Structure 1
Amino acid sequence: MLIAVASENGEVFQHFGHTPEFTVYEIEGGVVRGKRVLPTGDSGHGALAGFLRDLCVDLLICGGIGAGAQQALAEEGIKLVAGVQGTVDAVVTGYLNGTLKFATDFTCSHHHDHGEGHEHGGHCGGHCKH
């Protein structure tokens, strides 16, 4: 399983559409087996879902996220846990042991649909092997 956390300087980033990097954790048997930080470059809003899909991410943990980005993630088969704050290591540990605290009102209300197309349905197009 791969978990990505929207991050900046080791903290959960609070605006998904402007995420500067993802901290990606490889989980095996409920234990972290690897961790890497990947810059997003110029990716934004709709492209970030594809970025995560191409990495074969199973779950995204983030702060605020708009409805369009939520839909894009769902279309890619990526599970979402949002409304999260704290250090990336602590939130992943909390998720794995079932103690992660998250908000239920995590939508970025200033987001709106920019009409990005999402031509890939399903998770990773079947090419991911964890």
Structure 2
Amino acid sequence: MIIAVPTADGTVDQHFGSAREFTIYHTDEFDEIAAVETVEAPGTGYEAILPLLIEKGVKIIICGRIGAYAVQAIKPTGIMLMGGASGNAADRVNDFLGGTLKFYSPSEPIAAAPAKGDARGEGDGLETDGNVAACGDNPVCTL
């Protein structure tokens, strides 16, 4: 399995579309991290980033906040989106692999906020955690 995390100094970057780099984790048949690579984002916005992640064979994205238009673009790709994460990126990947990934305290949910911009140039998309919206009926979500 290949997992991508937008990162900044080893932590989960809280803004998917403006992340400068992505850390790509390759796992083995035992669901342990077998290889790690860091790639520079080819630009800003999901339209620049998503093709790179697809090319790399990413099946899961663990991220912080993500714009609603990005969630809509990811949904048909077969990539599972796990938004709302924070902290050390490798720790979050290991949490996911161990089935213990937690995004935030239920008493303190990440509220939707205006996105910095969007593909339509209107800036009216909402930046959310994206968990349920991107998963849908995607078979990858049944891992």
Secondary structure of residue in 2 paired with 1:101 = coil
Other-structure match for 1:69 = 70
TM-score (norm 2): 0.73
Q: CA deviation at 1:113?
A: 4.3
State whether structure 2 residue 119 is matched by structure 1 residue 110: no
Q: CA deviation at 1:72?
A: 1.1
Other-structure match for 1:31 = 32
How do residues 1-130 of structure 1 correspond to structure 2 at under 5 angstroms? 1-29=1-29, 30-103=31-104, 105=110, 107-110=112-115, 113-115=118-120
TM-score (norm 1): 0.80
Moved more, 107-116 or 46-55: 107-116
Q: CA deviation at 1:115?
A: 3.9
The amino acid of 1:6's aligned partner reads P
**2:21/2:40 contact within 8 Å kept:** yes
Q: CA deviation at 1:44?
A: 2.3
CA distance in 2: counterparts of 1:56 and 1:108, whole angstroms? 30
**1:91/1:100 contact within 8 Å kept:** yes
Structure 1, unpaired ranges of 5+? 117-130
Other-structure match for 1:126 = none
Q: 1:107 to 1:22 in 2, by over 3 A?
A: farther
The amino acid of 1:41's aligned partner reads P
**1:60/1:80 contact within 8 Å kept:** yes
Structure 2, unpaired ranges of 5+? 122-143
Identical counterparts, % of pairs: 34
Alignment RMSD: 1.9
Q: 1:17 to 1:82 in 2, by over 3 A?
A: same
Moved more, 70-79 or 14-23: 70-79
Secondary structure of residue in 1 paired with 2:53 = helix
CA distance in 2: counterparts of 1:108 and 1:5, whole angstroms? 21
Q: CA deviation at 1:28?
A: 1.5
